[in-house]
Amino acid sequence: MAQLASPKDSRVNPHGRVHRAAAAAAGLRTLRIYRFDPESPESPRLDTFELDAKSCPMVLDALILVKATLDSTLTFRRSCREGICGSCAMNINGLNRLACTTAMADLKGEIRIYPLPHMPVIKDLVTDLTQFYAQYASVEPWLKTRTPTPPDRERLQSKEDQERIDRPAACILCACCSTGCPSYWWNSERFLGPAALLAAYRWIVDTRDEDTGERLDQLEDSFRLYRCHTIMNCTDVCPKDLNPAKAIAEVKKMLASRRY
């Protein structure tokens, strides 16, 4: 059956370490951050950090400040700090978002930061995305053709054709959508999840691709595709404003139209 409670060792101790600010300041903010150390026998805990965040426009800036000044063991992924690499995806105040594009000013009161939900945690805010990437690889996200490439030019595409893949191709694989989807939580081993399905859709509607039927065959499965129950958390949380739910619905329509 579905596991409704976390295993005992995974239950979060809400009373972790507290790092109080030395003095009251106008920009004082409180961050409550999930901590887990695989090398410690301790259960995960929520640490509290008070910091003067006036020099931190974004949540990622605050995390970097915490790591630099309060606790150097805090572990999180980050790279581009401008919403294009997808590394700093985490659960902030209950929503999956990128720490680098989430403004501190938009979050009221205490800020609760957890790793992406329902993923194995490696350390603190870093989750194991191996399966997520394998799901992406399974949709074979590259151009497949039988017609040889024209010798004198690239494969042509109309402006309208390009517009169909413009948005889906903007996915940065941050995993906010898949890890925000309850269907993915319950069946992540068999449901491909919104990110991989959006990638599949991006190649299905690419007019240069000649493998559409085979791609649809690979998705026609009651778990791989049809675990999507149109909950739409994916679309709700996507930091790039993409619409995986619509892409999945389009794939379902294509499968129905080739059958009936």
Partner 1 sequence: MSWRSALGRVEGYGASKEGVGHWWTQRLTSVALIVLGCWFLVALLALPGLDYATVAAWVRGGWTAPILILFVGVAAWHSQLGVRVVIEDYVHDVGTRTLALALACFAHVLLAALGAFAVLRVAFGSAA
Q: Give the binding site for partner 1 (CB under 8 A).
A: 1-2, 130-131, 133-135, 137-138, 183, 186-187, 189-190, 192, 217-227, 229, 252, 255-256, 259-260
Nearer Cβ to partner 1 (102/178): 178
Other Cβ atoms closer than 10 A to 88: 26
CA atoms within 13 A on the CB side of 215: 27
Nearer Cβ to partner 1 (12/231): 231
Q: Three-class SS of residue 35?
A: strand
Q: Three-class SS of residue 183?
A: helix
CB of 126 to partner 1, least distance (A): 17
Nearer Cβ to partner 1 (33/225): 225
Nearer Cβ to partner 1 (49/132): 132
- Nearest to residue 90, comparing CAs of 12, 11, 179, 30? 179
- Going by the DSSP 8-state scheme, the letter that residue 232 receives in this structure is -
Nearer Cβ to partner 1 (84/126): 126
CB of 246 to partner 1, least distance (A): 16
CB of 98 to partner 1, least distance (A): 24
CB of 222 to partner 1, least distance (A): 4
Nearer Cβ to partner 1 (113/139): 139
- Residues 58 and 230: their CA atoms lie apart, in Å, by 31
Determine the straight-line distance between the first and last CA of the chain, rounded to whole angstroms. 35
DSSP 116-169: STTS-EEETTEE--HHHHHHHHHT--S---SSPPPTTSPPP--HHHHHHHHTGG
CB of 187 to partner 1, least distance (A): 7
Nearer Cβ to partner 1 (43/138): 138
For residue 77, what are its two tokens?
Answer: 């992924």
- Residues 66 and 60: their CA atoms lie apart, in Å, by 10
CB of 48 to partner 1, least distance (A): 35
> Is the separation of the CB atoms in 97 and 90 below 8 Å?
yes
CB of 109 to partner 1, least distance (A): 35
CA 172 remoteness from chain centre:
9
